[in-house]
Every structure is written in C-alpha cells, then in structure tokens.
C-alpha cells in the first residue's frame, strides 16, 4: 500500500503570484441592475448581525407541515437546524407550485443526446414522482431505507430522486461514469435496499451500458442489502433481467396511482447521501438533511442566479454530482424555475450542441464548469458564433478555479460582454454556494469568486489559524455553521470530526487554499490536501494509488495531480513494479484499464511512469512535491514512460537526502 503525506501546504504562496489580472474589474452592466432581486447591500449586514434571524426569515418562505421550535442548535462540530419543524422536500419542489396555479409551467426542457425532446411541466412531474413513490413502496422501500440511483440524465432520474424525498427514503446517487466496483462499495456503505438504473444511456452517439454494471456490482452475495432493481428503458439494448429481483420501470411505475401522500419529515431527517473523494482510499458518504439543505440551495439559487419568473435556467452539470443535486434539482425546483436538462456530451454530434440548446430554449442563465469552457475554447469560437445567444443574461462557473483567460472568453464569446459572470465556490460538503457575487451588487474580477454569501463567515488563515492580512494567502476556513452544511460522514462521526474540524478547532476546514486581495475579495487556489480536481471531478490520489497497488504485479504507486490546460489538473502516476514484470507501454495500458475497472474511466492516469524508486522523506512519506515537479516539468505526454536516467537520478538523489516535504 502506498504511503502518502498528510495535508500539505503546497498551494497558497506559490500560486498567488501567478494571478495577474486582478486589477481588471467588471462592474455589473447597468441594464442588469434593474432586474436584480437583491439590490440592497444591507442584506450582508443583516445576515452578519443576526445569522439565525436571516435564515429564519428565508425559511418562512418554504412550505412547512409544522413550524420549527428552534432555528439552530450548535454543539461543534454538530449542527441541527430548524428542529421541531416538519416538511417534505418534494412538496416544496412540486405540490406548492401546482397549488399556486403553476402546474403548466415547464419544470424541465429535457433533451436526449440523439435529439429526442420532452417538456415536462410541474403538474406532470408531480404525477410521475407520485407514481414512482408508490412503486418504491410496492418494492418494499420504507421511510429511512436507502435507495441507490445509477442512471443516465433522463427524466426518470430526477423523478426517482424526488420520489425518494416524497417517501423519506434517502437516495445515494452514483455517477454513471463510476465502475461496477465503485458502485458496489457505495451500495454496501449505504446498505441500499433498492437500486434504480436504466438499460444504458447515450454517450457520444453510442449506447453505453449501465444495467450490465449493476449486474456485476450486485452479483452473488456481494451486496447483501439489495433486494430489488428497478430498470428504466432508455437505449433498448439487450439486458438480463433476473426474475424476482429486476423489474422494468414501464411495467411497474406507469400503472401506479397518480397521487402519493408525502411523508412528514423532520427537519434533520436525512435527505440524501452523496459519496465524495477524500484523502484516503475510501470515499466519504456526505450526509445532507432536509430543511437546512433545501433552504441553503434554494436561497443561494434565487439570489446568486438572480432568478426571475421568466428565466430559462440551464445548469449543465450531471445529476450524479452535488452541483446537479443542488442546482438542477432541489434548489431550482424549490424556486419553481424552468430548467434545461441535457443527457449527452457537449460536442455531439458537433461542438455547437450546447449553443444550439441555448438558442432553442432561449436560455437566460447558464451555469457550467471552467473545464467545459476551456473545451469550447479549444473547439473554436465559430461554433458559438453560429447561434443566437442573445437570450443569455447571466453566466455561472463552478468546480475549480477559473483561469482569467477562460473567464474572458466566456464573458466575450458566450455572454456577448453583457452578462455578469458569477463564479461560485462551494463543495459537496457545503451543499450550497458559499462564496459568489450577487449580480447587480458585486463588482466582479476575472478569476475571483468575490465575496462570501450573506451569513457565511469565511476567513483566510495561516498554519496556526491566525487570520492572514488582506493581500496574503493561506487556508480557507468557515467560522460559523450554515443551514446546508453536511451533518456528518455516514457511519463515521470520528472521521467527520477529524477531516473537517480538527485542524482549526471549532472552524470548518474545506481543504482549499485561498488568497484575499486588498478589496477583501477571495481568490480560490485549489486543494491543499491529497484531493485532485480533474475536469471538475474530485478524485483522491490515495484512492487511485490503492487501485494501482491492487494489481498483482504492482509493488508501490504514487499519484499526483499536475497542471493541465484543459482539465485543470491531470493525473500522473508513478509505479514500481514487482520483480520480473516488463515495464512496457502495453502493461501501462493494462494498468490504466485496471484503474478504470476499479473506480471508473475518469480516474485513469493521463501519464504513467514506471520507476525503480519513489522519493521518500526520512519518515517514509512519499515526497509528492518532487513528483509533481517531475511530472509537470517533463511534459510526459499521454503515454506510458519509463523513467529516464535524469528522473531516476533525481528520484534517487531525493530518496538519499530524505528531505522533508513539508
């Protein structure tokens, strides 16, 4: 098993100097201010002066079966929000809009990759969710049971998630790009009773299989908790259906009663679990609860995206990640928004697919990741120029630091220089946006997520926890609890305490480096722990190392993230083979496939180097900084490389001197 160093202090001071364009500022365009739903700066002061009062006022806009007794109980690091209150998330997302006469409003303009389209209204969505909820009950799912969801981006996916919320059965969505093995681990950790999937989904014009991965994940007695598998038909590909266990969606769900009484959930009941990568080989099940989470993502969605009744809002993420959970589904529907949902890749059948979608539905708000923006930059400006993008009035960014070049391209070629860009910093754990401008209020700077959302108390501190003066860099911390914060790591309170709250007692440590400029603006600098951000996907170096080491011919492995123009970071692996194994490119490819099978194709190392040694400190920790330099400095290309003499020498040298990596 590879050894790793502890949280390292690599990012802050090195990267700060690289930020050059912070003096270019962009005031909100004047035409925009007229629409802004938050136009009064006093919201910040109000929230800072009375945190609980601020959130209580917002919470009153949700629909409750029973009001809360107490806004916040805070016994660090455990928070409980709106205790005593009862509500149902699906009622807030659906029933109350239908009851208010909005039943015919479109909830989603859905578009499949092959070009099939469907508009789904709030009334239709309520009916479908109710039927699905009844089907879950028929399959034996009860309040409190966990349901795993492994699906393509088809309407059945949000329907299944909301059906879980309706009956109080927490879901755990596993991104469709994860392998059978990764799916199995999550099912077992969550002890899910039901898995909802599809035969497959479309990816770059081809049907790819999902049910086949489910079959592999749950074969034999590998997932003792699973009782049933519900399968939606999407591609029509051949699948094996096991009698008594596997049920077709169209055979069970379609015939159900169209209404279903919502469960009265307690504020702190678990809404869902979502697994994310941490600094160990085992992903963490992040727990989100009902009232605080719904409140956090709906309020931030409304204010940060300046949501108006006639907006057409497109969050181009996948529902398999937290961005999809909070801003395709819960936040957006709680606000009664009309959204766009697209199944496929942005360059199929041609790189103008997204812009075609923006033009067709007259999208007004687009929310995406820097990695996607950089891909569009690479494909060329002419694809966007073919389409009328004049409906757009607001652009968002999330997932990784946005480089100023990508920011400028997005601003100019997509936003026509008239749309504010909201760069939003947050994480799976925070549930909702924490640092972002409020359009109409906040002057933006390319590359900065600007200022904390009202009520969010963020700071930048040094290793000892002292606040760093403006102009300096260090570690981001959050000083106060917030409604949508994670309530824990499923089944592991100790790991929760240790990961997020031990470094700076009483304060939340998200694992990111940050700098603040003279105006107090936050510049996020990336992870400072063993987590990588590849195309906006969070991946653990340790998890990939342990996948590599699980190959019978690998003795030891180290994985680091290196800067990449397209994907933000790329995965570089250094591998020591067992004696007698030929370090050939073919074997390198075999190892990449091995990682894909263990975790998923997204975790395949871009570069893989066989080496006789790994540089270690005297205490035996791998010196990642040196490996990062080697991987970054040598532009290793996409293929397997054998350590050249120079690298070997460097590694040997470092191993001999055993310098500390801190």
Name the minimum Å distance from CB 476 to ligand WTA: 9
- State the Cα–Cα distance between residues 660 and 442, nearest whole angstrom: 43
- Per DSSP, what are the bridge partners of residue 559? 573
- State the Cα–Cα distance between residues 501 and 508, nearest whole angstrom: 5
Given candidates 400, 459, 556, 650, which one binds ligand WTA under the rule CB under 6 A? 400
449 binds ligand WTA (CB under 6 A): yes
- State the Cα–Cα distance between residues 628 and 636, nearest whole angstrom: 12
Name the minimum Å distance from CB 538 to ligand WTA: 4
Name the minimum Å distance from CB 449 to ligand WTA: 5
Name the minimum Å distance from CB 568 to ligand WTA: 9
DSSP string, 385-409: HTS--TT--EEEEESSPPPHHHHHH
398 binds ligand WTA (CB under 6 A): yes
Query: Per the structure block, which two tokens stand in for 281?
Result: 């080989």
Name the minimum Å distance from CB 397 to ligand WTA: 6
DSSP string, 91-150: IIIIIHHIIIIITTSEEEEEE-TTS-EEEEEHHHHHHHHHHHHHHHHHTT--TT--EEEE
279 binds ligand WTA (CB under 6 A): no
524 binds ligand WTA (CB under 6 A): yes
Name the minimum Å distance from CB 307 to ligand WTA: 19
Give 466's contacts (C-beta < 8 A, 6+ positions apart).
none
Query: Per the structure block, which two tokens stand in for 534?
Result: 């590849």
Q: How many CB atoms lie within 10 A of CB 596?
A: 16
Dihedral, CA of residue 524, residue 527, residue 533 and residue 538, to nearest 10: -110
- Only one of the segments 165-173, 186-194, 222-230, 521-529 lies at the binding site for ligand WTA (rule: CB under 6 A); that segment is 521-529
Name the minimum Å distance from CB 422 to ligand WTA: 9
Query: Per the structure block, which two tokens stand in for 578?
Result: 């067992």
First to last CA, the chain: 21
443 binds ligand WTA (CB under 6 A): no
Name the minimum Å distance from CB 541 to ligand WTA: 14
Q: How many CB atoms lie within 10 A of CB 60?
A: 10
Q: Which is closer to ligand WTA, CB of 321 or CB of 574? A: 321
410 binds ligand WTA (CB under 6 A): no
Residue at token pair 């059906």: 163
535 binds ligand WTA (CB under 6 A): no
DSSP H helical ranges for 224-330: 249-252, 291-304, 322-324
Query: Per the structure block, which two tokens stand in for 310?
Result: 């006639």
Phi, psi of 313 (to 5 degrees): -110, 130
- State the Cα–Cα distance between residues 38 and 482, nearest whole angstrom: 20
Number of residues forming the site for ligand WTA (CB under 6 A)? 23
Given candidates 425, 475, 482, 496, which one binds ligand WTA under the rule CB under 6 A? 425
444 binds ligand WTA (CB under 6 A): no
399 binds ligand WTA (CB under 6 A): yes
518: left (phi over 0), alpha (psi -120 to 50) or beta: alpha
Half-sphere exposure of 493 (CA within 13 A, CB side): 4
Name the minimum Å distance from CB 513 to ligand WTA: 9
Name the minimum Å distance from CB 121 to ligand WTA: 29
Given candidates 10, 371, 428, 640, which one binds ligand WTA under the rule CB under 6 A? 428
Name the minimum Å distance from CB 533 to ligand WTA: 5
- Only one of the segments 409-417, 526-534, 558-566, 641-649 lies at the binding site for ligand WTA (rule: CB under 6 A); that segment is 526-534
Residue at token pair 């240790």: 498
Given candidates 168, 511, 561, 588, which one binds ligand WTA under the rule CB under 6 A? 511
Given candidates 12, 152, 401, 415, which one binds ligand WTA under the rule CB under 6 A? 401
Q: Which is closer to ligand WTA, CB of 268 or CB of 423? A: 423
Q: Which is closer to ligand WTA, CB of 293 or CB of 426? A: 426
Given candidates 527, 604, 606, 621, which one binds ligand WTA under the rule CB under 6 A? 527
336 binds ligand WTA (CB under 6 A): no
323 binds ligand WTA (CB under 6 A): yes
581 binds ligand WTA (CB under 6 A): no
Name the minimum Å distance from CB 128 to ligand WTA: 27
Q: SS3 breakdown of the chain: % helix, strand, coil, rounded to 5?
A: 30, 25, 45
332 binds ligand WTA (CB under 6 A): no
- Only one of the segments 6-14, 79-87, 399-407, 624-632 lies at the binding site for ligand WTA (rule: CB under 6 A); that segment is 399-407
Given candidates 80, 193, 284, 538, which one binds ligand WTA under the rule CB under 6 A? 538
- Only one of the segments 347-355, 395-403, 410-418, 641-649 lies at the binding site for ligand WTA (rule: CB under 6 A); that segment is 395-403
Yes or no: say if 320 and 329 are a contact pair by the CB < 8 Å rule.
no
Q: How many CB atoms lie within 10 A of CB 90?
A: 26
Query: Per the structure block, which two tokens stand in for 196?
Result: 């909802």
Given candidates 391, 427, 467, 479, which one binds ligand WTA under the rule CB under 6 A? 427
125 binds ligand WTA (CB under 6 A): no
Angle, helices 51-59/42-49, rounded to nearest 10 degrees? 110
Q: Which is closer to ligand WTA, CB of 55 or CB of 425? A: 425
473 binds ligand WTA (CB under 6 A): no
Yes or no: say if 275 and 256 are a contact pair by the CB < 8 Å rule.
no
- Only one of the segments 102-110, 318-326, 495-503, 606-614 lies at the binding site for ligand WTA (rule: CB under 6 A); that segment is 318-326
Given candidates 88, 424, 535, 562, which one binds ligand WTA under the rule CB under 6 A? 424
- Only one of the segments 193-201, 330-338, 397-405, 454-462 lies at the binding site for ligand WTA (rule: CB under 6 A); that segment is 397-405
Q: Which is closer to ligand WTA, CB of 512 or CB of 556? A: 512
- Per DSSP, what are the bridge partners of residue 289? 270
Query: Per the structure block, which two tokens stand in for 208?
Result: 């790819």
426 binds ligand WTA (CB under 6 A): yes
Q: Which is closer to ligand WTA, CB of 8 or CB of 137? A: 8
CA neighbor of 426 nearest in space, from 604, 334, 271, 299: 299
DSSP H helical ranges for 17-70: 30-33, 42-49, 51-59
Query: Per the structure block, which two tokens stand in for 240?
Result: 């094996």
Binding site for ligand WTA (CB under 6 A): 276, 321-323, 398-401, 423-428, 449, 510-512, 524, 526-527, 533, 538
């Amino acid at each position: 098993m590879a050894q790793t160093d502890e949280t390292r202090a690599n990012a802050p001071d090195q990267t700060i100097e690289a930020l050059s364009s912070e003096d270019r500022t962009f005031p909100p365009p004047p035409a925009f201010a007229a629409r802004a739903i938050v136009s009064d700066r006093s919201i910040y002061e109000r929230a800072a002066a009375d945190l609980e009062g601020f959130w209580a006022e917002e919470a009153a806009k949700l629909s409750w079966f029973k009001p809360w007794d107490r806004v916040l109980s805070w016994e660090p690091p455990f928070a409980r929000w709106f205790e005593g209150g009862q509500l149902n998330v699906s009622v807030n997302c659906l029933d109350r809009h239908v009851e208010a006469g909005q039943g015919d409003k479109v909830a989603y303009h859905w578009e499949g990759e092959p070009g099939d389209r469907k508009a789904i209204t709030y009334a239709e969505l309520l009916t479908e969710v109710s039927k699905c909820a009844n089907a879950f009950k028929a399959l034996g799912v009860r309040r409190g049971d966990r349901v795993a969801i492994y699906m393509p981006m088809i309407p059945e996916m949000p329907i299944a998630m909301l059906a879980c919320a309706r009956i109080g059965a927490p879901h755990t969505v596993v991104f469709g790009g994860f392998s059978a093995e990764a799916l199995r681990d999550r099912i077992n950790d969550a002890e899910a009773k039901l898995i909802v999937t599809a035969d497959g989904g479309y990816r770059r014009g081809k049907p790819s299989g999902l049910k086949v991965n489910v079959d592999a994940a749950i074969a034999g007695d590998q997932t003792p908790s699973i009782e049933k598998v519900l399968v939606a038909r999407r591609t029509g590909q051949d699948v094996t259906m096991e009698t008594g266990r596997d049920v077709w969606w169209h055979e069970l769900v379609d015939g159900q009663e169209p209404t279903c009484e919502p469960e009265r959930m307690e504020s702190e009941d678990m809404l869902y679990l979502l697994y994310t990568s941490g600094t160990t080989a085992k992903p963490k099940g992040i727990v989100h609860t009902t009232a605080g989470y719904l409140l956090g993502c709906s309020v931030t969605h409304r204010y940060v995206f300046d949501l108006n009744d006639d907006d057409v809002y497109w969050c181009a993420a996948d529902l398999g990640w937290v961005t999809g959970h909070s801003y395709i589904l819960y936040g957006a529907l709680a606000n009664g928004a009309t959204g766009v949902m697209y199944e496929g890749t942005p360059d199929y059948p041609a790189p103008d697919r997204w812009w075609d979608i923006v033009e067709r539905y007259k999208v007004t708000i687009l929310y995406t990741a820097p990695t996607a923006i950089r891909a569009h930059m690479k494909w060329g400006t002419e694809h966007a120029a073919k389409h009328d993008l004049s409906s757009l009035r607001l652009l968002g960014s999330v997932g990784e630091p946005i480089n100023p070049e990508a920011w400028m391209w997005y601003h100019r070629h997509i936003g026509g220089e008239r749309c504010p860009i909201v760069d939003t910093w947050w994480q799976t754990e925070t549930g909702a946006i924490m640092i972002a401008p409020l359009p109409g209020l906040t002057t933006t700077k390319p590359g900065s997520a600007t200022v904390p959302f009202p009520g969010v108390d963020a700071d930048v501190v040094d290793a000892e926890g002292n606040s760093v003066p403006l102009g300096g860099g260090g570690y981001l911390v959050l000083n106060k609890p917030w409604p949508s914060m994670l309530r824990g790591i499923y089944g592991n309170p100790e790991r929760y305490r240790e990961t997020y709250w031990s470094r700076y007692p009483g304060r939340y440590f998200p694992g990111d480096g940050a700098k603040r400029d003279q105006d107090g603006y936050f510049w996020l600098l990336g992870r400072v722990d063993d987590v990588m951000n590849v195309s906006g996907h969070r991946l653990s170096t340790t998890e990939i190392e342990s996948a590599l080491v699980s190959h019978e011919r690998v003795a030891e492995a180290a994985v680091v993230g290196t800067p990449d123009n397209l994907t933000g970071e790329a995965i570089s692996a250094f591998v020591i083979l067992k004696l007698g194994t030929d370090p050939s490119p073919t074997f390198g490819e075999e190892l990449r496939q091995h990682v894909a099978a263990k975790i998923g194709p997204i975790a395949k190392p871009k570069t893989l180097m066989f080496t006789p040694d790994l540089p270690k400190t005297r205490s035996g920790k791998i010196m990642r900084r040196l490996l990062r330099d080697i991987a970054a400095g040598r532009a290793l290309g996409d293929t397997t490389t054998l350590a050249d003499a120079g690298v070997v020498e460097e590694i040997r040298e470092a191993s001999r001197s055993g310098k500390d990596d801190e």
